[in-house]
Structure 1
Amino acid sequence: MAVEKFMGTTPQRAFVGIIIIQAIAVLAMIGIAFAFVEVDVRTSSDSRYKTIPCYLAMFGLAEIFELAMALDALKARNIVQLVGILAFHLGLVVFAALQVDEAHTALDLSKEAGCNTFAVLCDGSLWRKVEPFFIVNPIIIAVSWIFMLFFVRKLFEEFGWAVFELVGANPLTKTMYQWYQIMICLLKFDFFFFGSVTMQLIILVLASNSVEFGLTVAAIPIVLLLLVGAGIAVQREIKWLMSISLVIMLAAETYFSKQEIDMGLLLYKLVRFYEPSSRGEYISTRATLTFFTIIAFIILFMTFGVGLRCFSDFDKGLTQAKVQTVPEKVIYSSPNSPGVGGDRQSNYLDRRLSIE
């Protein structure tokens, strides 16, 4: 029996192929819609019209991220990350569905009194032209998710026993390793969702000369260092660095205000989307910004909790398993091998049952 090589099996290639095909299809639909909009509307003239190019950028980032996560999960035989990708893909379905209404709000002003902007917006003709390209996207993503689910089940069978090669059959050690995998997976999703919220705010909403713009940009390297530091700390079991990372995670979920300068990340941003003084700035982006911000808040909170769990497992003999990789070829003797063949086959079955 052997651990198959990276991209060496049909389920692995099919899983990656589905992601690539649906990415091409979705980006093509958005690209066509963007091209139609650019012909008739100057998207840079008003923040509400930037919804389409931002949507294109967001999906481009999401598809690249998902492909990178898939390749990484297959390389590492990480079943936890494959499940995370399925959840992320469902999030893309929700995001694509939300964009239908937000693009409608941005591109169809026919119901607004005294519309005097672009004619194609005032009579709704532009929206009717691009509407099919928006509606088809959540359908494409949902159908691709069904196929991905089928092949993840195949990959679960393929990778199900590979953890044994790293941590052995001890249930306690196996559980600690699974929590470690969850932590690393959450850190990666933290990176994406924080980057997504930040990108949308910078492109769509914030004025480059505002205090909030400067604070948002300044937060980017801080959060990146936090996530990288937390990843290194949990892998190498560096207690002082893990302690600092957990404290900053907790602080990042709160917001503070002093006089006229607001500081903070997630909860502060969420409040800004709905308070009367600023809600008008987010008229065509509120739904997706709310969705991404809430998901980012939940994932960061989960990361903090799982980080505490992983911290409690430090110095329990898991460090070596965290830094080594599964060998791509691990050969077991066949039942016909002289001497110990039957015992090897029995051991393999015991190992398989232990993992499952």
Structure 2
Amino acid sequence: MVAITFRLVDDKVSLSQEGYRTIPCYLALFALAEIFELLMAFDALRLRNVIQLIGILLFHLACMVFAAVQVHQTRTALITGTDCDTNADLIKCDVPGSLWRRIEPYLIVAPCVIAGSWLFMLFWIRQLYAEFGWAIFHIVGANPKMKTMYQYYQIMICLLKFDFFFFTAVTMQLLIVVLAQNSTEFGVTISAIPVVLVLLGLCAIAVQREIKWLMSISLVLMLAAETYFIYKLVRFYEPSSRGQYQTTRATLTIFTIVAFLILFATFAVGLRCFADFDRGLQSSKVHGGSYQLVAIKPGQLNGNAILFLDVSQRPKYSTGGSTGNMSEHQSPYNSGNALGPRISIE
């Protein structure tokens, strides 16, 4: 729907004009959002991360809101004509047969489709929630404190991923729609991109490896990034600059506020994760996803099923003896070959 809208407008007007740049920006943001959401879904399934699946639900809901807001934003960009009653301009006026009347149905359909797909996602993620319920137990065991610490770690990593998207989205809108290449603000925005992306990457490494000095620097830089978002919000409504943001002010405001809130939440959760450093969770963070389930089917062992959970970093069968602290399991069903360290749950 967004691509059709883009094509219909591109056929009638030049999208390089200042007032019409919101259309390519709209298409670029949705393309980025769909790719990002798809990668996040694969990542959540790979890691069996229920928290990230819930984050995807909220993100999809935000896409629906953005699509709904874009109807108003596009109308503001296109309907700029005067005296439409006496001199109907099919490009700049809201009259039968005009450009706006042609693209309006496609703009309205987009949030409706997203809302319908959100209901389907809600059903399937509910099923996955039950399916992945044991994942954290497999990684950190039954200790409630360790489980809570690992959940905060998962929330932190998930927030960093969404920080990346919303910062990229705000920057993309500014560069496509608003800023002139010869302006000082354009240079500041360009220079902020690598700084923030490096910040997010280093913060993820710091919280996973529990590097205190790097985590401290990341938290301080988060506060600096917060001031950048506040500065941009002021620029959107400041009398001297509000005119250049007219066609995208609502979208930019929503994205900037959401980015500010998510970054603030990342800072708060980061402080919580920093307090959990050196409490025995680092190994689970680094190797948490590396486990494998090997089941012997009922009937092979007198009707009982045994589930082996491989807790080694690279799970595989061992051809030699056990070198770990756990007992070695010898089974007549593996042709005499000893298995490596296993936890058996019968």
TM-score, normalising length: structure 2: 0.83
Instruction: Provide the secondary structure at the position in 1 that maps to 2:21.
Output: helix
Q: Which residue, 68, 71, 93 being the options, matches 2:39? A: 68
Corresponding residue to 1:272 among 217, 230, 235:
235
Question: Conserved in 2, the CA contact under 8 Å of 1:116 and 1:122?
Answer: no
Matched, 1:308 2:280: no
Q: Does 1:99 align with 2:70?
A: yes
Q: List 4+ stretches of structure 1 deviating above 4 A.
A: 111-119, 332-345
Specify the structure having the higher radius of gyration (Cα): 2
Cα deviation for residue 248 of structure 1 reads: 0.6
> Could you list the per-position Cα deviations for residues 283-319 of structure 1 after superposition, in whole angstroms to 9, with x for gaps in the alignment?
1100100000000000000000000000000001111
Distance 2:211 2:178 in 1: 39
Q: Which residue of 1 aligns with 2:122?
A: 149
Q: Which runs of 5 or more residues in structure 2 are unaligned? A: 309-346
Separation of aligned partners in 2, 1:247 and 1:207: 30
Shift of 1:121: 1.4
Match of 1:30 in 2: 2
> What SS does the corresponding residue of 1:109 show, helix, strand or coil?
coil
Deviation by residue 1:25-62 (Cα, 9 ceiling, x = unmatched): xxxx11111111111101102x2201111100000000
Residue type at the aligned position of 1:145: W
Are positions 1:227 and 2:200 aligned together? yes
Checking the alignment, whether the CA contact within 8 Å between 1:49 and 1:106 is kept in structure 2 is yes
Correspondent of 2:174 among 185, 201, 205: 201
Are positions 1:48 and 2:19 aligned together? yes
Unaligned runs of 5+ in 1: 1-28, 255-264, 346-356
1:331 aligns with 2:294: yes
Partner of 1:297: 260
Task: Find the counterpart in structure 2 of residue 282 from structure 1.
Answer: 245
User: How far apart, in 2, do the equivalents of 1:304 and 1:113 lie?
Assistant: 51
CA deviation vs aligned residue, 1:200-232 (integer Å, no higher than 9, x gap): 001000010000000000000000110000000
CA-atom RMSD in angstroms: 2.4
Taking the aligned partners of 1:117 and 1:131, their CA distance within structure 2 comes to 18
Could you tell me how far apart the structure 2 residues matched to 1:126 and 1:298 are?
A: 37
CA-to-aligned-CA distance 1:263-296 (integer Å, 9 cap, x gap):
xx20000111111111111111001000000000
- Count of residue correspondences: 306
| Cα distance in 2, alignment partners of residues 213 and 228 from structure 1 | 24
- Greater fraction of residues in helix: 1
Greater relative contact order: 1 or 2 (C-alpha under 8 angstroms, separation 6 or more)? Answer: 1
What is the CA-CA distance between 1:123 and the residue it aligns to? 5.5
Alpha carbons 1:249, 1:300 under 8 Å: kept: yes
Q: 1:227-246 alignment to 2 at 5 Å?
A: 227-246=200-219
Structure 1 Cα separation of the partners of residues 243 and 219 of structure 2? 35
- The letter for the 2-side match of 1:319 is Q
Q: Matched residues, percent identical?
A: 61
